[in-house]
Structure 1
Amino acid sequence: MVSRISHTTIDCRDAYALSEWWRQVLGYVDDPDDPNEPGHEECLILDPAGPHRVLFIEVPEAKSVKNRIHFDLRPQDRTQAEEIERLVSIGATALADLRRDDGGWVTLADPEGNEFCVLMSPAERDAVLAARA
Structure 2
Amino acid sequence: MACRIGELVLQSRDPEALAQFWCEVLDFVVLDREGDGSIEIGARDGFGGAQPTLILSPYAAPEQARPRLHIDLNATDRDQAAELERLLAIGARPADVGQSGEEPWHVLQDPEGNEFCLLRARISPVPS
TM-score (norm 1): 0.75
Which structure: greater helix fraction? 1
% identity of equivalent residues: 35
SS at match of 1:48: coil
Distance 1:30 1:58 in 2: 15
Query: 1:98, 1:104 within 8 Å by CA — same for their partners in 2?
Result: no
Aligned to 2:38: 42
Q: How does 1:64-75 map to 2 (within 5 A)?
A: 64-75=64-75
Residue pair 1:9, 1:56 contacting (<8 A) in 2 also: yes
1:59 is matched with 59
Structure-1 separation of matches of 2:24 and 2:100: 25
What is the root-mean-square deviation of aligned Cα atoms in Å? 2.5
CA contact (8 A) 2:80 2:122 kept: no
Aligned to 1:28: 28
Structure with the larger RCO, 1 or 2 (CA within 8 Å, 6+ apart):
2
Structure 2: stretches of 5+ with no match in the other structure: 124-128
Shift of 1:75: 0.5
Aligned length: 117
When residues 99 and 72 of structure 1 are mapped into structure 2, their CA distance, relative to the original with a 3 A threshold, is farther
Distance in 1 (CA, whole Å) between partners of 2:107 and 2:19 is: 20
Deviation at 1:60, TM superposition (A): 1.6
Does the CA-based 8 Å contact 2:92-2:110 persist in structure 1? yes
Name stretches of at least 5 consecutive residues in structure 1 with no aligned partner.
124-133
Give the superposition deviation at 1:3.
4.2
